[in-house]
């Protein structure tokens, strides 16, 4: 007879389904039964029958002292489980995505974790076992945050989305370092080539930021995060000059008394023609000998002081 402490009562489980697939989710956040393709197909998670070998997918708090509450969202089979642990609170949404086409052969089981307040440490464990626990699958990494589990004629594709805030911080930091390395030449007035390159970078960055979530909420979250990073960097650069120099550099003299400083031109990837273009446009000068100083500003613009 099953150990009551190891096997939760059937009343502890909530059902989610899309009319084809079915799963049972425990109060502790573990999917202990799931038939992913059809209700009468073999299970990929079957811990309901075999606690040790049946397979499961669990999202659980690391705190020993936790409580939970749950409900269905509106008139749907979207299950919302809220965990209360320590000083934090986190919400888990479980549901099957409805296929775009009625005859679409693939089923999607989605689990979304949302922080509500405080700090909660969670453990995610995915232990697929096909054919009611009889087949242990081969696991393989297919890409970034993308894995496959293949056993017999069955298979699962497991993917993870990076949190939007973390994505925004990582991409912002990467671009900051990238433009810091490429120098202020990239911040000057764009040539047609530069313009095309910036368009490609912008499109690629947008895809990386949004991922597969094009919702208004996610957009607001990303914009707020990026503006928050920008404000934080502004405060840091205004308080610590060393940090300001690290981020923004200092103005750099490129021409002194009509003499071009070649090493600095190579360092910044500025050409003599760039300097003369600025001299003609801003001061009406025709030759390098008419320039007292040409200075590459922190903004990437070239300031020219005539003799």
Same-domain status, 96 and 196: no
Please tell me the number of Cα atoms within 13 Å of 281 on its side-chain side.
10
Same-domain status, 127 and 233: no
Across-strand partners of 295?
Answer: 253, 303
Same-domain status, 258 and 274: yes
- Report whether 107 contacts 96 (CB < 8 A): yes
Same-domain status, 240 and 263: no
Question: Per the domain annotation, does 183 fall within a domain?
Answer: yes
pLDDT in the model for residue 1 = 32
At residue 200, φ and ψ (nearest 5 deg) are: -65, -45
Any residues with CB less than 8 A from the CB of 175 and at least 6 apart, and which? Answer: 201, 205
Same-domain status, 92 and 79: yes
Across-strand partners of 70?
Answer: 81
pLDDT in the model for residue 2 = 39
Of 137, 159, 181, the position where a domain reaches its end is 159
Largest Cα–Cα distance in the chain? 97
Same-domain status, 24 and 91: yes
For residue 184, pLDDT over 60 is answered with no
Mean predicted confidence (pLDDT) in 67-92: 92
Residue 247 to residues 184, 189, 244, 295, Cα–Cα distance (Å): 12, 20, 5, 18
Question: Per the domain annotation, does 2 fall within a domain?
Answer: no
Question: Per the domain annotation, does 269 fall within a domain?
Answer: yes
Same-domain status, 114 and 29: yes
Question: Per the domain annotation, does 4 fall within a domain?
Answer: no
The CATH number assigned to the domain holding 273 equals 3.30.240.20
Q: Which of 8-22, 190-204, 267-281 has the highest mean pLDDT?
A: 8-22
How many Cβ atoms sit within 10 Å of the Cβ of residue 307? Answer: 10
Same-domain status, 141 and 183: no
Of 117, 143, 159, the position where a domain reaches its end is 159
For residue 139, pLDDT over 60 is answered with yes
Of 202, 221, 248, the position where a domain reaches its end is 248
Cα separation, 158 vs 163, in Å, equals 16
Question: Per the domain annotation, does 233 fall within a domain?
Answer: yes
As for how many domains the chain has, the answer is: 3
Helices (H) and strands (E) counted in the chain, each on its own, are 7, 16
Same-domain status, 173 and 145: no
Same-domain status, 182 and 282: no
- How does 130-146 read in b/e, with b if 16+ C-beta sit within 10 Å? bebbebebeeeeeeeee
For residue 137, pLDDT over 90 is answered with yes
User: Rg of the chain over CA atoms, in angstroms?
Assistant: 29
Question: Per the domain annotation, does 85 fall within a domain?
Answer: yes
For residue 189, pLDDT over 60 is answered with no
Same-domain status, 225 and 119: no
Per-position DSSP letters for 127-183, written without gaps between them: E--HHHHTBPPEEEEEETTEEEEEETTEEEEEE-PPPHHHHHHHHHHHHHHHHHHH-
Same-domain status, 175 and 295: no
- Percentage of the chain beyond pLDDT 90 is 27
For 28-51, the pLDDT digits (tens) are 999 999 998 888 889 999 999 998
Question: Per the domain annotation, does 182 fall within a domain?
Answer: yes
| Domain housing 204 | 164-248
How many Cβ atoms sit within 10 Å of the Cβ of residue 178? Answer: 11
Question: Per the domain annotation, does 3 fall within a domain?
Answer: no
Cα separation, 47 vs 29, in Å, equals 13
């Amino acid at each position: 007879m099953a150990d009551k402490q190891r096997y939760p009562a059937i009343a502890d489980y909530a059902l989610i389904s899309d009319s084809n697939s079915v799963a049972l989710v425990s109060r502790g956040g573990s999917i202990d039964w799931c038939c992913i393709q059809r209700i009468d197909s073999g299970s990929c998670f079957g811990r309901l029958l075999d606690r040790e070998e049946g397979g499961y997918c669990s999202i659980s708090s690391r705190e020993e002292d936790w409580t939970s509450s749950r409900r269905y969202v509106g008139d749907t089979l979207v299950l919302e489980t809220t965990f209360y642990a320590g000083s934090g609170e986190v919400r888990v949404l479980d549901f099957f995505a409805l296929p775009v086409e009625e005859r679409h052969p693939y089923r999607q089981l989605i689990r979304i974790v949302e922080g509500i307040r405080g700090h909660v440490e969670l453990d995610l464990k995915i232990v697929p076992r096909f054919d009611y626990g009889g087949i242990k699958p081969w696991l393989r990494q297919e890409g970034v945050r993308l894995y496959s589990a293949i056993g017999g004629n069955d298979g699962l594709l497991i993917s993870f989305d990076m949190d939007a805030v973390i994505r925004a911080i990582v991409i912002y930091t990467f671009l900051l370092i990238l433009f810091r390395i490429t120098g202020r030449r990239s911040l000057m007035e764009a040539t047609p080539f530069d313009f095309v390159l910036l368009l490609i970078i912008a499109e690629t960055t947008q895809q990386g930021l949004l991922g597969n979530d094009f919702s208004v909420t996610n957009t607001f979250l990303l914009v707020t995060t990026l503006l928050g990073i920008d404000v934080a960097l502004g405060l840091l650069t205004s308080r610590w000059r060393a940090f300001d120099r690290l981020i923004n550099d200092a103005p750099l003299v490129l021409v002194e008394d009509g003499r071009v400083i070649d090493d600095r031109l190579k360092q910044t990837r500025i050409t003599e023609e760039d300097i003369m273009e600025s001299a003609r446009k801003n001061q009406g000068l025709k030759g390098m000998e008419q320039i007292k100083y040409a200075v590459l500003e922190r903004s990437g613009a070239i300031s020219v002081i005539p003799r």
